[in-house]
Amino acid sequence: MSEQITAAASGTFKIGGDLQVNRLGYGAMQLTGNGVWGEPNNPDEAVRVLRRAVELGVTLIDTADSYGPFISDMLIKKALHPYNDDLVIATKSGLARTGPNVWVPIGRPEYLRQQAELSLRYLGLERIDLFQLHRVDPKVPLEEQIGELALMQKEGKIRHIGLSEVSVEVLKAASEITKIASVQNLYNLAKRDSEPVLEYAEANGIAFIPWFPLATGELAREGSILGEMANRLNVKPAQLALAWLLKRSKVMLPIPGTSSVSHVEENIAASGITLSDEDFNALSKLA
């Protein structure tokens, strides 16, 4: 597939009704070191990945304070600041890091505010376009967590508010407190437990950002439907997985991550794959 295919071919979506992005974005978690901790082995390649993604039309980059912590933010700023006017940098807070592969939900209002201020500093922003609650802290009332984000929104520090890894019930409850512009849940060709959340997002114009979008695993084994279809269409199984997500819903904003320039080019080229209804339905039966 041609490298000239850009993320613009994936179509657009307006987050919160007014923040337009190309639907195929980039997730920055893999820019960090092992265990999503510390500096990457090749910081220069990380900078090249980010710049290449933007060159190829990516207008949505998703990061989090816990990636590094803040390592991905600093790399984003180094690679892309001052930012293009159409570039949206979404971040998340509420899942603290105390070591490699350790994730601890912290939703205390003062902590969320502190992390938002640090994100603004490390990213070099005056306002965060999309600030997502990385995890709901079960020890803190939901209204206190969402309420603090809404307060920062009124103060002009945040433009839109999103959630991550929530049920329909939590999404509804949060929406009663303030407008929720996005939801980021685990969802891919192989694992679709969040189908009800996606359907709610579709019905309410909420962006659905699937994390871990490229989990093909056994589905891509030799002789499988996914593998055979990839061979027939002369594409990679991972590209088919992204094309399936893009066709699945107009509110779907996949954010595949990688630390390799060649892989980011490959992922973005998936924007140019148009699945027939027959192929889409065949893939849909794989989960």
Q: Give the integer Cα–Cα distance in Å for 169 and 277.
A: 32
Q: What is the largest CA-CA distance in the chain?
A: 55
Of the candidates 90, 246, 58, 105, which has an alpha carbon nearest to the alpha carbon of residue 183?
A: 90
pLDDT tens string 60-119:
999 999 999 999 999 999 999 999 999 999 999 999 988 998 999 999 999 999 999 999
For the domain bounded by 7-217+244-274, which CATH number is listed? 3.20.20.100
Q: Give the integer Cα–Cα distance in Å for 148 and 112.
A: 8
In percent, the amount of the chain with pLDDT more than 90 equals 90
pLDDT tens string 164-214:
999 999 999 999 999 999 999 999 998 999 999 999 999 999 999 999 888
| Residue 243 phi, psi (nearest 5) | -60, -35
Of the candidates 279, 286, 270, 228, which has an alpha carbon nearest to the alpha carbon of residue 57?
A: 270
Q: What is the dihedral of CA 9, 15, 20, 25, to 10 degrees?
A: -40
Any idea what the Cα angle at residue 110 is, between residues 107 and 112, rounded to 5°?
Answer: 50
Of the candidates 67, 122, 187, 200, the residue annotated as catalytic is 67
User: How many angstroms separate the Cα of 269 from the Cα of each of 58, 230, 261?
Assistant: 11, 14, 12
What is this structure's pTM? Answer: 0.95
111 is a catalytic site residue:
no
